[in-house]
Structure 1
Amino acid sequence: MNRHIAVIGIGSGDPDQLTLAAVKAIRATDVFFILDKGRAKSSLVRLRRNMLDEHTTGPYRVVEADDPWRDRSQDASTGYTEAVHDWRRRRAEICERLIADELAPGERGAFLVWGDPSLYDSTLAVLEHITARGNVSFDIEVIPGISSVSALAARHRVGLNRVGRPLHITPGRRLSEAFAAAGNDDGDIVVMLDAHESFRHLAGDDVWIYWGAYIGTPDEILISGRLGEVADEIGRARAEARAAHGWIMDTYLLRPCSDGATEHPEEPRGVRA
Structure 2
Amino acid sequence: MLELFLVGIGTGNPDHLTREAENAIRGADLVLLPHKEDNKAELAQVRLTLLQQLGVDGGRIAHFDMPLRRQTGDDYDNQVDEWHDAIARRWQASLAAHLPSGAGRVGLLVWGDPALYDSTLRIASRLGLRSEQVKVVPGITSMQLLCSAHGIALNEIGAPFLVTTGRQLRDHGWPPGVDTLVVMLDGQRSYEQVSEPDVEIWWGAYLGMPQQLLMRGRLAQVAAQISARRAQARQAHGWIMDIYLLRRPGKRS
Q: Shorter-chain-normalised TM-score: which range? A: over 0.9
Which residue number corresponds to residue 144 of structure 1?
A: 138
**1:16 alignment counterpart:** 15
Preserved contact between residue 205 and residue 243 of structure 2 (Cα < 8 Å): yes
Give the AA of the match of 2:128.
T
Q: Which amino acid aligns with 1:250?
A: D
Question: Which of residues 100, 107, 125 is equivalent to 2:122?
Answer: 125
1:251 to 243, 247, 252: 243
- 2: CA distance between counterparts of 1:203 and 1:57? 49
Match of 1:109 in 2: 106
Offset, 1:71 = 2.6
CA displacement at 1:229 relative to structure 2? 0.7
1:261 match: 251
Are residues 178 and 166 of structure 1, via their aligned partners in 2, closer, same or farther at CA, if it must alter by over 3 Å?
Answer: farther
Task: Give the CA deviation at 1:101.
Answer: 2.6
Q: Given residue 53 of structure 1, which amino acid in structure 2 is its aligned partner?
A: Q
User: How many residues matched?
Assistant: 252
Give ranges in structure 1 of 5+ residues lacking alignment: 264-273
How do 1:105-254 and structure 2 match up within 5 A?
105-131=102-128, 139-176=133-170, 179-182=173-176, 185-254=177-246
Deviations 1:76-125 (A, max 9, x none): xx411111111101111111121233124442111001110111212111
Q: Which residue of 2 aligns with 1:6?
A: 5
Contact 2:161 2:178 in 1 (8 A): no
Q: Over residues 48-93 of structure 1, what are the superposed CA-to-partner deviations in whole Å (9 max), with x where a residue is unaligned?
A: 111111123778511111100113455xxx4111111111011111
Structure 2: stretches of 5+ with no match in the other structure: none
1:74-93 to 2 correspondence within 5 Å? Answer: 78-93=74-89
- State the one-letter code of the partner of 1:68: P
Higher mean alpha-carbon deviation, 122-131 vs 170-179, is at: 170-179
One-letter identity of the residue aligned with 1:206: D
The question of whether the paired residues in 1 share the 8 Å contact of 2:156 and 2:252 is answered with no
Amino acid at match of 1:22: A
Contact 2:183 2:244 in 1 (8 A): yes
Give the residue type in structure 2 aligned to 1:38: E
Root-mean-square deviation (Å): 2.1
Write out aligned runs for 1:41-52 (5 A).
41-52=40-51
1:64 alignment partner, SS class = strand
Whether the aligned pair in 1 keeps the contact of 2:200 and 2:219 (CA below 8 Å) is: yes
Does the 8 Å contact 2:12/2:50 carry over to 1? no
1:261 deviates by 3.2
Identity, % of aligned positions: 38
Over 3 Å counting, the alpha-carbon distance change for 1:262 and 1:171 in structure 2 is: closer
State the SS of the aligned residue for 2:192. Answer: helix
Distance in 2, matches of 1:128 and 1:115, equals: 19
TM-score under structure 2 length normalisation: 0.93
How far the C-alpha of 1:172 sits from its partner, in A, is 0.2
> SS in structure 2 opposite 1:181?
coil
User: Is the Cα contact below 8 Å between 1:5 and 1:139 reproduced in 2?
Assistant: yes
Change (3 A) 1:125 1:168: same
Give the TM-score taking structure 1 as reference length: 0.86
